[in-house]
Amino acid sequence: MLGVIGGSGFYSFFGPDARAVNLDTPYGAPSGAITVGTVGGHDVAFLPRHGANHEFSPHTVPYRANMWALRSLGVRRIFGPCAVGSLDPALGPGSMVVPDQLVDRTSGRSDTFFDSGGIHVGFADPYCPSLRAAVTALPGVVDGGAMVVIQGPRFSTRAESQWFANQGFRLVNMTGYPEAVLARELEMCYAAIALVTDVDAGVETGQGVKAVDVFAEFERNLVPFKQLVREALENAAGTSGVTTCEHCRPHDGVTLPFELP
């Protein structure tokens, strides 16, 4: 099964024939029930990142439970569509970007399953190349860029966003970490698909970022963004079956302190 972890607006990704699956994990309950349906004849599992009623802020999302639940259900490849701010004036609202790098600026989040055992996971290239290719092959998609993940729930100050932009980062987001590294630890392919909803506070003059404007911009672009994700799922389903690619299997030859679900 392919997986999608979606944010606002993705909660009705399937039709009425979909079924809900409730799972528990050693890390508590996931954000919500996992909905299993079909896209282009392929089974797809959808999990609402922020909960069915958007009850989880970015820093309170149960990331470990979410990833564990998807793996337990048989998911091995995941797309993570998300809303982002732009740090590059060339990427205006409505741009759809597939980042190739991640910068973690969060704090205090549970970001590993390996609290014992001395396990180290390679993460130099945080996103699955085969899943990225399934999206970047589609028309109108911007390929590449570093996404800096901030703690939230507040937006960046003007000085912070200027700092990030000066470092060459192109996108800013609140949920991309630890989602990506937890997928890698569980040997699941993962790629983010970013929809630009705003230009960040320090990149241009103005009032800065407001949540109401972010949600409104996401809603305006929701139909084409959903279609992009559906087409990416169809591309991915036709490439490598249900297996995790070699790039996303960091534990080959390593004895783990527990068995992967």
Q: Quick one: three-class SS letters along 139-187?
A: CCEEECCEEEEECCCCCCCHHHHHHHHHCCCCEEECCHHHHHHHHHHCC
Say if residue 49 carries a ligand binding annotation: yes
Pairwise CA distance, residues 191 & 240, whole Å? 15
Question: What token pair was written down for 260?
Answer: 């992967």
Say if residue 24 carries a ligand binding annotation: no
SS3 (DSSP) at 126: coil
Say if residue 67 carries a ligand binding annotation: no
Say if residue 170 carries a ligand binding annotation: no
**E strand or H helix at 200:** none
Say if residue 199 carries a ligand binding annotation: yes
What is the secondary structure of 7-27 as a DSSP string?
Answer: -TT-TT-S-TT-EEE---BTT
Per the annotation, the verdict on 213 as an active-site residue is no
Say if residue 175 carries a ligand binding annotation: yes
Q: Which of 88, 100, 104, 198 is catalytic?
A: 198
Q: Which of 88, 100, 104, 200 is catalytic?
A: 200
Strands 141-143 and 171-173: unpaired
Per the annotation, the verdict on 198 as an active-site residue is yes
Strands 141-143 and 96-98: parallel
Say if residue 198 carries a ligand binding annotation: yes
Question: What token pair was written down for 221?
Answer: 């672009």
Say if residue 8 carries a ligand binding annotation: yes
One-letter amino acid identity for 230? R
Please state the residue numbers annotated as binding site: 8, 49-50, 174-175, 198-200
Catalytic positions, written as ranges: 198, 200
Please state the residue numbers annotated as binding site for substrate: 174, 198-200
Please state the residue numbers annotated as binding site for phosphate: 8, 49-50, 175
